Amino acid sequence: MTGRKRQKLRRDVLLYVLLAIGSLSTVFPLLWMVSTSFKSGDVIFEIPPRLLPDGLHWENYRKALTEIDFLTLFRNSLVITVLQLMSNVFVSAFVAFGFARFHFPGRNVWFLLVLSTIMLPGEVTMIPVFIGFSEIGWINSIKPLVIPGFFGGSPVFIFLLRQFFLSIPRELEESAIIDGAGSFRIFCRICLPLSVPALMTIGILSFQGSWNDLLGPLIYLNDADKFTLPLGLSMFKGVMKVEWGPLMAGSILALVPVLAVFALAQKHFVDGFKLSGIKG
């Protein structure tokens, strides 16, 4: 018995050491980011570099807000993210409800097509869609980024929400039907409220994807005052003498919304990954 206990203790210690090494190497780069964001300009380019900042130089954050024009970028990102979120969540739910609750001729064929578009990489349609939007003069506006979503949302989300709606027992709807409710009222009053957890999870997946999207804004937006945060920050990639202090400060500020959502809705965040794992 004691031998077994000692063995367990040894295993636990080994696990703690390994987990600590892993966690440290994950967190350390992020701490370096925070440290850089508080360093003064001279200390950043000191050789050898210092681990800790020389005091808290908040002016990096002030510079990020003024010189990178953080607030404009932030607002642009927010507008696109919110519009994409609305289309991704509600239009996907609307379409998914059609697939989950109705038997209509051709339903299975259409659903198979939804599934096949999940497998189709967006790169193949990217150039023709770009050319289409440039023909109607939508380049350099957010329209190409937000309008497609309102035509069907996202196929992955349609699939996930359909599965979720199928798991809602139909008895719940029957009393509403007896009361003479139409299908749209059942969708709004019964299906959506019961699906809040799934909708939250999908909302978070959509939010994270939109907030971080680089390729879309890169292709469609030309004017600096229309740039999103990822696009605005990406402009610094080729600058020869980068001011790393303000840039790291701006990068941290760009992460704040995602971190806030994670902190507030950690469970749904985690569920998002489990949910997308289930379909495998």
Partner 1 sequence: MRIRKYEGYAYIAPWIVGFFLFTVAPLLFAFYAGMTEWDTFNKPKFVGLDNYAALLRDEDFLKALWVTVKFAAVSVPAGIFASIVIAVMLNTKLRGISWFRTALYLPAVVSGVSVYLLWKWILDQDFGLINLLLSQVGLPKLGWLTEPSLVMPSYLMMSLWGAGGGMLTYLAGLQDIPAHLYEAAEIDGASGLQKFRHVTLPMLSPVIFYNLIMGIIGGMRKFGDAYIIGGAGNEGRFYMIYLYENAFKFFKMGYATAMAWILFVIILALTLLTFKSSSAWVYYESEVKGSKRKRGRAK
Residue 194 or 255: the one with the smaller Cβ distance to partner 1 is 255
Answer yes or no: are the C-beta atoms of 36 and 243 closer than 8 Å. no
175 binds partner 1 (CB under 8 A): no
Q: Which of residues 221-240 bind partner 1 (CB under 8 A)?
A: 229-230, 233-234, 236-237
25 binds partner 1 (CB under 8 A): yes
18 binds partner 1 (CB under 8 A): yes
152 binds partner 1 (CB under 8 A): yes
Binds partner 1 (CB under 8 A): choice among 38, 159, 164, 244 = 244
Residue 79 or 276: the one with the smaller Cβ distance to partner 1 is 276
Q: How far is the CB of 6 from partner 1 (least distance, A)?
A: 16
Q: How far is the CB of 135 from partner 1 (least distance, A)?
A: 10
Residue 158 or 202: the one with the smaller Cβ distance to partner 1 is 158
Q: How far is the CB of 255 from partner 1 (least distance, A)?
A: 5
Q: Which of residues 95-134 bind partner 1 (CB under 8 A)?
A: 95, 97-99, 101-105, 107, 110, 113-114, 117, 119-121, 123-132, 134
3 binds partner 1 (CB under 8 A): no
Q: Which of residues 193-212 bind partner 1 (CB under 8 A)?
A: 208, 211-212
DSSP string over the chain: -HHHHHHHHHHHHHHHHHHHHHHHHHHHHHHHHHHHHTS-HHHHT-SSPPSS-SS--THHHHHHHHHS-HHHHHHHHHHHHHHHHHIIIIIHHHHHHHHHH---TTHHHHHHHHHHHHHS-THHHHHHHHHHHHHTT-TTSSHHHHTGGGTT--HHHHHHHHHHHHTS-THHHHHHHHTT--HHHHIIIIIHHHTHHHHHHHHHHHHHHHHH--HHHHHH--SGGG--HHHHHHGGGG-SS--HHHHHHHHHHHHHHHHHHHHHSHHHHHHHHHHHHHT-
Binds partner 1 (CB under 8 A): choice among 60, 63, 142, 153 = 153
Q: How far is the CB of 55 from partner 1 (least distance, A)?
A: 19
